[in-house]
Structure 1
Amino acid sequence: MAKNIQSLERAAAVLRLLAGGERRLGLSDIASSLGLAKGTAHGILRTLQAEGFVEQDATSGRYQLGAELLRLGNSYLDVHELRARALVWTDDLARSSGESVHLGVLHQGGVLIVHHVFRPDDSRQVLEVGAMQPLHSTALGKVLCAFDPVAHNDALEGQRRPFTARTVTLPESFESELATVRERGWALDVEETWEGVAAVAAPIRDRHGMAVGAIAVTGATERLCPPDDLGEDSGQGGATGPQVRSDLVAAVRVCARSVSRDIGNGRF
């Protein structure tokens, strides 16, 4: 059996780290996270930087994913049927909701963002295509876990890290929330992953009725949620009864159903 090439494995690990964590990481952060010597990590980063896969901020010295990696990723995403079918619908959803829209799929135990429509205003925003989000705490992830057995198992077997005081970490609490998602057909994340950020998501189903992705509207909590209905912290169980604007729920569900219909789901 052929052995894996260690240098390539390490380079791939660096890229995954930069894609799944903070936007920019220092050399020490990268080396310690991957258990590498600083000299080894620096050599990998220099090579990736020379190829355009990694960029270094001139001021802070921190590293982030480079434009060449995004270009290669987009060459794949351009032929991704789900993304292609969703383009028009997600653009319309961002325009009507006034918020960011994300399209995510299950990938390596997390949610891979394959399409991102910016919030239609003049604020500074960062393109999140190619970023990874956790399964257990995001609206996209919870939708996938509720309707995809593989995602469900990945979330149960993985580490359910508490990102905020509202993050659901206990297995029984997580299963209870997924049961609610299945019952109502959509998922909610109110400050469970990022402070001040809320999202609502709905599943995209293929011609066989299988959940192949999810669409979410994401924005500031004060815009997505009624101010008096954020609920109380429940320690290990997330928020008790947080609410989201009903018009956003309806809009996300219509968008997801429209994409589902375009990829062959005749149910809608």
Structure 2
Amino acid sequence: MARSIQSLERAAAVLRLLAGGERRLGLSDIASTLGLAKGTAHGLLRTLQQEGFVEQDAASGRYQLGAELLRLGNSYLDVHELRARALVWSDDLARASGEAVYLGVLHQQGVLVVHHVFRPDDSRQVLEIGAMQPLHSTAMGKVLAAYDPVAHSELLDGAREAFTSRTTTEAPELEATFEQTRQHGWASDTEESWEGVASVAAPIFDRRRMPVGAVGITGAVERVCEDGTIRPTLVAAVRGCARSVSRDLGAGRF
């Protein structure tokens, strides 16, 4: 097996650290968190800064991810056929539902958000492209785990965290949820991942009728639910969006 290059591993660790948590960190914070000498951490940051992957705030001296990294990430997403096909339909879904729309794919035993349309109002929102969501407690995750045998198996074999008192973590209950998802063609999450938040998602298929992603909406429970259940109009809107994207990917009518 080829040996890894330590400097690249450390640079990757720096980028991952800056991608999470407070997003802006000082040299001492980065060095101590990663177990690096300050000189080593500074050298890595200086190189990453020269390449545009890291930026340093002039006032505080703290570091954050740079524009070049964002450009590369967006370049990947722009050539991602699923995202390209879903752009118009997800915008339509946001307008029709009045809620934020997410497009996700399987990645490292979780859901990677590859597209995010803001809720169409004047509220302050944070772009979540590149964020990871759990499989067992989110609507998109349940959809992907229900239709993908590998994800299904890995999820049931691994540890499952209870994020709220409503999170389902037991295998038999999850199996029943996945079966229901396949029968109905959609999945939901009511305060299973975040208190006060509900979501509904549906699968997207390609020309081979293989599941390649999921699209869903997320919003406050009082808007998304009625009498404790997801509003039927929102379910219909999400499923309609998923069918439209699937047809654009060659899945045909279903």
Q: If the length of structure 2 is used for normalisation, what is the TM-score?
A: 0.87
Change (3 A) 1:53 1:138: farther
Q: CA RMSD in A?
A: 2.6
What does 1:77-88 correspond to in 2, within 5 Å?
77-88=77-88
DSSP-derived class of the 1:176 partner:
helix
The size of the alignment, in residue pairs, is 252
1:118 maps to what in 2?
118
Distance in 1, matches of 2:133 and 2:56, equals 23
1:221 maps to what in 2?
221
Deviation at 1:107, TM superposition (A): 1.2
Distance in 2, matches of 1:248 and 1:142, equals 17
Structure 2 residue 139 is matched with structure 1 residue 139: yes
DSSP-derived class of the 1:105 partner:
strand
Deviation at 1:109, TM superposition (A): 1.5
Change (3 A) 1:181 1:49: farther
Deviates more, 1:203-212 or 1:173-182: 173-182
Stretches of structure 2 that go unaligned for 5 or more consecutive residues are: none
1:154 maps to what in 2?
154
Stretches of structure 1 that go unaligned for 5 or more consecutive residues are: 230-242
| Fraction of identical pairs, as percent | 72
* Letter of the 2:142 counterpart: K
Distance in 2, matches of 1:114 and 1:77, equals 7
DSSP-derived class of the 1:209 partner:
coil
Deviation at 1:209, TM superposition (A): 1.3
2:189 maps to what in 1?
189
DSSP-derived class of the 2:195 partner:
coil
* Letter of the 2:230 counterpart: V
DSSP-derived class of the 2:230 partner:
coil
What does 1:81-96 correspond to in 2, within 5 Å?
81-96=81-96
What does 1:220-259 correspond to in 2, within 5 Å?
220-226=220-226, 228-229=227-228, 243-259=229-245
Distance in 1, matches of 2:190 and 2:212, equals 23
**Structure of higher CA gyration radius:** 2
Deviation at 1:30, TM superposition (A): 6.2
Q: If the length of structure 1 is used for normalisation, what is the TM-score?
A: 0.83
* Letter of the 2:237 counterpart: A
DSSP-derived class of the 1:116 partner:
strand
Deviation at 1:52, TM superposition (A): 3.4
